[in-house]
Amino acid sequence: MELLTTNNVWMMICTALVFFMHLGFAFLEIGLTRQKNTINILFKNIFIITVGLLLYALVGFNLMYPGEFNGFLGFAGFGLDSPLTAEGALDLTYNEGYTYWTDFLFQGMFAATAATIVSGAVAERMKIGPFMIFTVIYVGLIYPIAGSWKWGGGFLQTLETPFYDFAGSTLVHSVGGWAALVAVALLGSRIGKFKDGKPQAIPGHNIPLATAGVIILWLGWFGFNGGSVLSADPALTSLTLVTTCLAAAAGGVIAALVSTLKYKNLDLTMFLNGILGGLVGITAGADQMSPTDAIIIGAVAGAIIVFAVALIDKLRLDDPVGAIAVHLACGIWGTLAVGIFGALASGAQFVSQLIGVASYAGICIASSFLIIFILKKVVGIRVSEREELEGLDAHEHGMDAYPDFRLNER
């Protein structure tokens, strides 16, 4: 009982840290975008957290953890089960590491993250209504179904060499990243982003706030990865936090260095996204890596950030916050790195990692395209030119985030 209490307290602390990450996402997104769209972005982030938790309680948790099923789709029923015994006492047989309630809440915090990734990528030009509909379907159904394939004991877990994703480089970050890529492609770029085929900088209105957001996200990752140990095991938890931090540091430094060599300027936003890229990259195998492995994985992720951002611009895709580079490109890299570095490194493991990446690409691209394409044809997904130029805050919310501090904006 004492061990259960210790483990459960650690898991609840990690749950709180993952919840705190949503403030980091909100700060990052509003900081890297323009003042006139601040309320819109904050509204979406709050909507994702609140509705995401309700959906996860209603259907998501039992879709993701259905018990015995065919490996592709299962459902244990609507709502949450009682974690009590027939006598009304706490069911201590549920799990050695934590209670049923803690399990639900920890996993529920992860679920909302996938839609938050999309929120940043489509910022400043997507209608709020269609985004809310997309969030309900993607977080309520697609994310938990995809999650069941690995974390719910599905077919990826039953491969001869099981696919491995410790805390969600693919199951969380790439799931959001693939949807972000599809959404951005269907939505189109912001007015003024490309001129004569060349990308133009559209500066965010509050880089200090974006910096605070990244620091908050880094702190939250202590819970994201540390909680994924699923216990308070001192050795494994400590190693996980060390590898997480080293990868983040390496990602930031290398992104800043490569960006400086490529563009001849010290770009803080590249530095910040490099940190996030390192965090996403290490997430798939944080418990399996040595400190040296973690530094290498983070460093490669940092370099990937710079070149992925350049590639996205070359493809004339507009991602205001770099979500696709951070969560998709580095999510894929981190997932494949499990087969190259650390305790699980082998040819067979690398093949399993490829199978996992391809499987999630398939369901995420197909489902997000279907949802967003139908919304585009039926109700439209993009605001009018006037609404975009004047700001979504005024037209969709009738509010101003900074009524006493108006800035001249393009």
Say whether 157 sits in a helix, a strand or coil: coil
Model confidence at 332: pLDDT above 60: yes
Model confidence at 176: pLDDT above 90: yes
Predicted local distance difference test score (pLDDT) of residue 341: 97
Query: Can you tell me the distance from the alpha carbon of 244 to that of 282, in angstroms, rounded to the nearest whole number?
Result: 6
Name the token pair of 276: 């996030």
Name the token pair of 239: 């190693």
Predicted local distance difference test score (pLDDT) of residue 378: 97
Average pLDDT estimate for 224-247: 95
Predicted local distance difference test score (pLDDT) of residue 99: 85
The answer to whether 329 touches 312, Cβ cutoff 8 Å, is no
Query: Can you tell me the distance from the alpha carbon of 136 to that of 68, in angstroms, rounded to the nearest whole number?
Result: 26
pLDDT category at 403 given cuts 50, 70, 90 is confident
- Give the CA angle between residues 82, 52, 392 to the nearest 5°: 160
Model confidence at 24: pLDDT above 70: yes
Query: Can you tell me the distance from the alpha carbon of 365 to that of 374, in angstroms, rounded to the nearest whole number?
Result: 14
The one-letter amino acid code at 300 reads V
The answer to whether 278 touches 248, Cβ cutoff 8 Å, is yes
Predicted local distance difference test score (pLDDT) of residue 114: 82
Predicted local distance difference test score (pLDDT) of residue 393: 94
Predicted local distance difference test score (pLDDT) of residue 86: 53
Mention every residue, 6+ apart, whose C-beta is less than 8 A from residue 396: 40, 127, 128, 383, 387
Percent of the chain with pLDDT over 90: 87
pLDDT category at 69 given cuts 50, 70, 90 is very high
CA count, 13 A, side-chain hemisphere, 267: 24
Start-to-end C-alpha separation, the chain = 61
Residue 261 burial (CB count, 10 A) = 9
Across 73-87, 190-204, 359-373, which has the greatest mean pLDDT?
A: 359-373
Name the token pair of 209: 């706030």
pTM, 2 dp: 0.94
Mention every residue, 6+ apart, whose C-beta is less than 8 A from residue 243: 282, 286, 287, 289, 290, 291, 293, 294
Average pLDDT estimate for 220-227: 96
Q: What is the tens place of the pLDDT at every residue in 87-124?
A: 555 665 566 678 888 999 999 999 988 889 999 999 99
Q: What CATH class does 2-397 carry?
A: mainly alpha
Average pLDDT estimate for 20-48: 96
Model confidence at 129: pLDDT above 60: yes
pLDDT category at 227 given cuts 50, 70, 90 is very high
The one-letter amino acid code at 375 reads L
Query: Can you tell me the distance from the alpha carbon of 382 to that of 351, in angstroms, rounded to the nearest whole number?
Result: 40
Model confidence at 54: pLDDT above 70: yes
Q: What is the tens place of the pLDDT at every residue in 265-305?
A: 999 999 999 999 999 999 999 999 999 999 999 999 999 99
- Give the CA angle between residues 120, 366, 194 to the nearest 5°: 40
Average pLDDT estimate for 232-241: 95
The answer to whether 33 touches 321, Cβ cutoff 8 Å, is yes
pLDDT category at 334 given cuts 50, 70, 90 is very high
Predicted local distance difference test score (pLDDT) of residue 408: 53
Q: What is the tens place of the pLDDT at every residue in 142-151?
A: 999 999 999 9
Predicted local distance difference test score (pLDDT) of residue 53: 95
Query: Can you tell me the distance from the alpha carbon of 13 to that of 227, in angstroms, rounded to the nearest whole number?
Result: 8
Predicted local distance difference test score (pLDDT) of residue 190: 95
Percent of the chain with pLDDT over 70: 94
Predicted local distance difference test score (pLDDT) of residue 95: 67
Predicted local distance difference test score (pLDDT) of residue 92: 59
Model confidence at 366: pLDDT above 70: yes
Domain boundaries, the chain: 2-397
E runs forming strands in 94-149: none
Q: Return the closest-CA partner of residue 118 out of 344, 320, 407.
A: 320
Scanning 288-329, the segments in alpha helix (DSSP H) are 291-314, 323
Mean model confidence pLDDT for the chain:
93
